[in-house]
Structure 1
């Protein structure tokens, strides 16, 4: 729901910073969902290792 509000037609890039508790399977599913729901968006995934949040998002 958050990403649906952040991603608008003017946006081109979603950067996902994964936290220490994010799994590869969940991250892959997230990227696949974004690709299906918003085909105009490119996704970049980077390991951040933050302990509190499994994901941080940046939209450009």
Structure 2
């Protein structure tokens, strides 16, 4: 069982060819990997688990 937390994508960027993003969790900003949801755009919401976006909402 996992605990996925929804957050809003506020920025997208690449690091070494890997798609990354800054996600807002009610004002707390964290960097996460967006490789599993390449269709996600700034303004979308995604479910985050251990630093990876696992689905777009």
| Bigger helix fraction | 1
TM-score by length of structure 2 reads 0.26
Bigger Rg over Cα: 1
Higher strand share: 2
Higher relative contact order, chain-length normalized (CA < 8 Å, sep 6+): 1
TM-score between both structures, scaled by the size of structure 1: 0.25
